[in-house]
Homo-oligomer: A and B are copies of this chain.
Amino acid sequence: MQDEFAFISNISPKQTKQPSLIYGIGDDAAVYRGSNETDEVVCVDTMVEGVHFRRDTLTPFQIGKKGLAINVSDLAAMGATPLYYLVSIAVPSSWTEEELSTIYKGMSELADFYNMDLIGGDTVSTDGPLVLTVTVIGRVKKGEAKYRNQAKAGDLLFVTGYVGKSAAGLALLLERGLDGEFSLAEQDLIKEHQEPIPHVAHGQILVNSLYRGALNDVSDGVASEANELAEASNISIVIEGNKLPIHEAMRHYDREKQLEWALFGGEDFVLIGTVAKEKADQVRKEFEEQGLMFEVIGYVEQGQPNVYLSNNDQVLKLEKQGYNHFQKRG
């Protein structure tokens, strides 16, 4: 399958037809001027049964909740406040009305948390698998939306939560199924996979404090997202392996497995971003005042738009989907 936006990624803001369109094409969200004080942010994501979710790892409630969460996380990564959502579902006859209704209930639970309104949608029948498309609309202070291309040499790289939990949880679900027996620690991992909570408040701290920096969510894994920051900002990133926040529930897995999930697992809907080194302590303080995690995991340097993992005195080039052991840094 071609990449998302394959057909439109070559459109730059300068080529847009609407003067109010600002930026964001090629990111997971678009930004346009709504008023003299605010910009609107809009994102859309599609989940297909059997491709993006499986009924043996997510309940209908969780399919809905996660479907909305994925989109809200795209808003969070811009620093936007979620406002509205629209839901389009193509549904096969194998789904009951009640199961379908439960998908909406899952979305509603998350939406209530952010005071989001469901303002539209379309429900149609299909002979194929269930296809769930969610559109979300948010708002951010004029000119203050966060993008991937704002990292500069000298910045520190941070994440706003543990990484790898979702992948570890998925592995457990695939091993034992929805009805399997799980320890409390395992349930914690599974919950992160099934019902992730987007880091909306985290993004808003950065917007409200007017810090310059790049921002993204970790939907496709730390390695992939760090590479996107490096490419968009045209800088080089070094990730310090021993600084990656690995949750206690993952401690008993061997180090190799931990790193694999943390770097390449994806679906951890925490944020990854950069801030100037001299601002990092202040940002950390603001996160801590709200009881939120802020973990520095590396730094930004001038250089080719590559990502390196510094781990146990070894430096590896980190591709989006894996290590490259042969291409040492230099």
**Interface set of A (CB-CB < 8 Å, partner B):** 1-8, 11, 16-18, 20-21, 24-25, 28-30, 32, 34-36, 38, 40, 42-48, 50-52, 83-84, 86, 88-92, 97, 100-101, 104, 112, 115-129, 131, 133, 135, 137
Contacts and interface: CB of A to CB of B under 8 A. Distances in A.
Contacts of A4: 121-123
A29 B121 CA distance: 9
Contact of A124 (B18, B48, B122): B48
A1 B91 CA distance: 9
11 contacts: A1-B124, A4-B122, A17-B115, A25-B119, A25-B120, A32-B83, A42-B86, A43-B120, A44-B121, A46-B89, A88-B88
A181 to B, nearest CB: 32
Contact of A21 (B47, B112, B119): B119
A119 B30 contact: yes
Nearest 9 Cβ contacts at the A-B interface: A128-B128, A35-B35, A30-B119, A17-B115, A133-B133, A1-B125, A46-B122, A46-B88, A34-B34
A40 B50 contact: no
Contacts of A131: 90, 126, 128, 131, 133
Contacts of A117: 11, 16-18, 21
Copies in the complex: 2
Contacts of A44: 86, 88, 120-122, 133, 135
A84 B123 contact: no
A125 B16 contact: no
A10 B135 CA distance: 20
A120 B203 CA distance: 21
B51 A125 contact: yes
A25 B87 CA distance: 13
Given A21-B117, A115-B17, A120-B25, A30 B86 contact: yes
A128 B118 CA distance: 27
A7 B84 contact: no
B30 A84 contact: yes
Contacts of A18: 83-84, 115-117
